[in-house]
Amino acid sequence: MDVNLSLLSIEIATVVLALGVLIIGLLVPKEQKYGLGYLVTIGLAIILFVSFSFYGINTKMFDGMYIIDDYSVFFKQLFLISATLVTLAATLYVKKIGTNYGEFFIMIVFATLGMMILSSAGDLITLYLALETMTISFYILTGFRKGDSKSIEAAVKYLILGALSSGVLLFGLSLVYGMTGTTVISEVALKIGEMASMPPALVVGVVFLVGGFGFKISAVPFQMWSPDVYEGAPTPVTAFLAVGSKAAAFAVLMRVFLIAFPDFSAQWRVLFAALAALTIIVGNLVAIPQTNIKRMLAYSSIAQAGYIMTGVVAANTAGVKGVAFYGMLYVFATIGAFTVVMNFSANTGSDEIKDYAGLAQRSPLLAAVLTVCLLSMAGIPPLAGFAGKFYLFSSIVSQGYLWLVIIGLLMSMASVYYYLSVAKVMYMADPQDDTPIIVPAGAKATLLITMAVTVFLGVYPQPLSVLANMAAKALFF
């Protein structure tokens, strides 16, 4: 058996990190467990730096079942960055939960592992196993506040609807396998190319796949689970769910649709365009009346998924590049915003927008980061979100989807309203209680990093743009 295991060293290192922390957690006494969070952060950061040496390898393992290319490495780095930032920010919040401190970070590492395998999956079975590794970790994380009925409710909802969507996805995968006789994604395309006409069962399979993936990226009309789950889950988990789970689903969705089904892209592109338009409109309009900041961010993240989906509609290198670029800066904006929310609620116990009144006086850092992150999501020019939306929309504008661009632009303008109304509450209103908010050092680091990167990428998007371009080219290689 000739397998070059060193190609898998990122994944192996992640498993070793998770199991190692599990063992250390068993050996040290309870009061010393608070170091485990930092240990996981450092471990993930080291793996992140090692992963840079995997660019340019572009090879397939196990007869095409596992793909190491620039595309997968780019997304692995995206997951590692988000896991690092979330674990760095979450220490105080998880300490307040009180139980199973070490396990929280271990489950985050396992979820990251699932995402990384998902981005590398070249086979439908590997894809499904990786997806379940990720989702099962998230079920546990969502219900982590065992004493809080909202958290349990969110976990149960997520479990039931997640199982349903997995079933839909599996049904789609089995129809694709039944019609083509192979589970390797690149061979599916070859088999479809040999067919004289499209068998109806394959069409049904592809529609089921759109439904299954649509649930994971919370595209309208498959979004009904996400506001409840995002609100009930512990805030660090919400941040990771909004970023990692969504980006992982996009990574694998693009690989499946662009590599396996390019022959009837005309059909599924229309489907995705309709979904994207619906998602952008519903996400933004429903976000406006929200009074709970986590629900507001949940609907805004639904809208963001709609913007990202326009890159899938483009179905070319420029579109994939747009998705990769926007996905990366969405990581920083979302984790920054949720870190503010988690530290605010760890101090005050509230997630209501009206309680953010006068935050600028109580903690200038929190207010500044939240404003920058929200404005970046809205796509205000000097910030990163503008560059991201520019890449996404310019990839489809020349392909007859001008109407989708117009919807995107109009709704971006609408979104400025609810993003700015949070900023207005923070800066204009007077605080009801002006005790300063304590932000621990780890969370402070996360906040500063997310803000700096969001501003930096807006002013100078070149480095990330080059990387994203490389990733997009590798997908079609």
Partner 1 sequence: MLTSYAGVVVVLIIGFIFPGILLGISRILQASHRNPTPVKLQTYECGLETQGETWVQFKISYFMYALVFVAFDVETIFLYPWAIKFQSLGLFAIVEMFIFIAILVIGFWYAWKEGALEWM
**If phi over 0 gives left and psi between -120 and 50 gives alpha, with beta otherwise, what is residue 262?**
alpha
Cα angle: 110, vertex 1, 55; to 5 degrees: 50
Smallest gap from residue 19 Cβ to partner 1 (A): 5
> Do the Cβ atoms of 396 and 404 come closer than 8 Å?
yes
Smallest gap from residue 65 Cβ to partner 1 (A): 17
Complex with partner 1: residue 23 or 224, whichever CB lies closer: 23
Complex with partner 1: residue 22 or 204, whichever CB lies closer: 22
Residue with tokens 């990226």: 217
Complex with partner 1: residue 25 or 212, whichever CB lies closer: 25
In order, the DSSP letters of 70-128 are: HHHHHHHHHHHHHHHHHHHHHHHHHHHH-S-HHHHHHHHHHHHHHHHHHHHB-BHHHHH
Omega into 289 within 30° of 0, i.e. cis?
no
Smallest gap from residue 26 Cβ to partner 1 (A): 5
Complex with partner 1: residue 103 or 351, whichever CB lies closer: 103
CA distance 348 to 353: 12
Neighbours of 198 (CB within 10 A): 14
Smallest gap from residue 243 Cβ to partner 1 (A): 28
- Residue 56 DSSP code: T
Complex with partner 1: residue 15 or 441, whichever CB lies closer: 15
- Residue 380 DSSP code: -
Closest CA to 248 of 135, 89, 389, 376: 135
Smallest gap from residue 407 Cβ to partner 1 (A): 48
Smallest gap from residue 57 Cβ to partner 1 (A): 22
Complex with partner 1: residue 102 or 211, whichever CB lies closer: 102
Residue ranges binding partner 1 (CB under 8 A): 1, 15, 19, 22-23, 26
In sequence order, the 6+-apart residues with CB closer than 8 A to the CB of 201 are 175, 178, 179
Complex with partner 1: residue 82 or 135, whichever CB lies closer: 135
Smallest gap from residue 33 Cβ to partner 1 (A): 13
